[in-house]
Each structure stands twice: as C-alpha cells, then as structure tokens.
C-alpha cells in the first residue's frame, strides 16, 4: 500500500510541471527580428520573455453534426448572377496580321470597327445617321475625302 502511495505521489509531482507549463508561454525574439511563441524555452541566441496565461484555454470543438449543418446552409444559399450588360458584338474576326497591314496601308475592309477607321483617318469631318446606319466622311492626309458606312454595331458592313 505504501508503495502505491509513494508511486502515485511521485507521478503527481512529475506531472505538475507539465500542467503549469501549459499555462505559460515563451516569447522568443531572434536576432533577425523573427518572433515565435512556444511552450518550451527559447534557443540561446534569442531574447526570451515569459507570459503567464490567466486561465487555461478551453474551447469546445465543433461536433460533426454542427459542421454538417454549417455546410448544408452554405450549399443551400446559392448566389444567382444577373448579367447587367453584355460585351458589345465584335466586328469581323480576321487575321491580326492582315488587320495590322490594312491599318498601316489605310485600307478600309469589311469587319473593321469605327475605332479602327478613326485610328487611320482621325475624327470624321461629317457624320450622318439613317435607320441605324452611320455614314462618316473622313479627310485623308493628302486632302482627299473618303466616306465610310458603319452598321448599328459600329462595324464596316
């Protein structure tokens, strides 16, 4: 009986520092400024400060049913997306190399946008609109006038 008493007393004494260590945290600041927190002592090349916790942290873990309820709520609340504006319809799609060549040579081709024509000739000197079709007159660098028609999407038909 005595043997049992002494062995249990010895185990209690040995376990006591681990209980108190759980309520004590070491803040270690390394020479490069990195800060770490640990429940054991800091390395010798770092500055150490001890912080005592007022109460042991007892946070109840979530049960599996709580997790499943949370996940099912997230799955139920689906987000609906409403498109407010669409991209404007693109003009003709042809080879980018050919498009670049036509822009440099100032050739107006079917499928060019109004912005591309204006980048070649500048702003129009006259612009008329009739039934959604725009007719714009441009002056070239040589003083010649050129008329270009655009459809309702702003593309050369």
Q: Alpha helices of 23-60 — where are they, by DSSP H? A: none
Give the residue extent of every domain in the chain: 9-54, 96-150
Q: What percent of the chain has pLDDT over 90?
A: 26
Separation CA 50–CA 83 (nearest Å)? 57
Residue 109: phi and psi, rounded to 5, are -120, 155
**pLDDT at residue 3, rounded to an integer:** 61
Write out pLDDT tens, residues 89-144: 578 777 889 988 998 999 999 999 999 999 999 999 999 999 989 999 999 878 88
Mean pLDDT of the chain: 80
Per-residue pLDDT band at 74 (split at 50, 70, 90): low
Q: Which helix (H) or strand (E) holds 104?
A: helix 96-105
Separation CA 115–CA 112 (nearest Å)? 8
Write out pLDDT tens, residues 42-57: 888 888 888 887 766 6
């Amino acid at each position: 009986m005595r043997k049992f008493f002494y062995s249990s007393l010895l185990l209690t004494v040995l376990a006591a520092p681990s209980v108190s260590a759980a309520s004590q945290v070491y803040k270690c600041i390394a020479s490069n400024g990195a800060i770490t927190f640990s429940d054991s002592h800091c390395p010798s090349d770092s500055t150490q400060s001890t912080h005592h916790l007022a109460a042991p942290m007892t946070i109840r873990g979530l049960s599996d049913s709580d997790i499943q309820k949370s996940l099912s709520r997230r799955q139920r609340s689906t987000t609906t997306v409403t498109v407010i504006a669409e991209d404007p319809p693109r003009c003709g799609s042809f080879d980018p190399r050919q498009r670049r060549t036509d822009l440099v040579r100032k050739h107006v081709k079917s499928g060019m946008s109004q912005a591309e024509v204006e980048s070649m000739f500048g702003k129009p000197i006259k612009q008329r609109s009739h039934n959604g079709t725009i007719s714009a007159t441009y002056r070239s660098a040589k003083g010649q006038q050129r008329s270009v028609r655009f459809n309702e999407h702003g593309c050369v038909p």
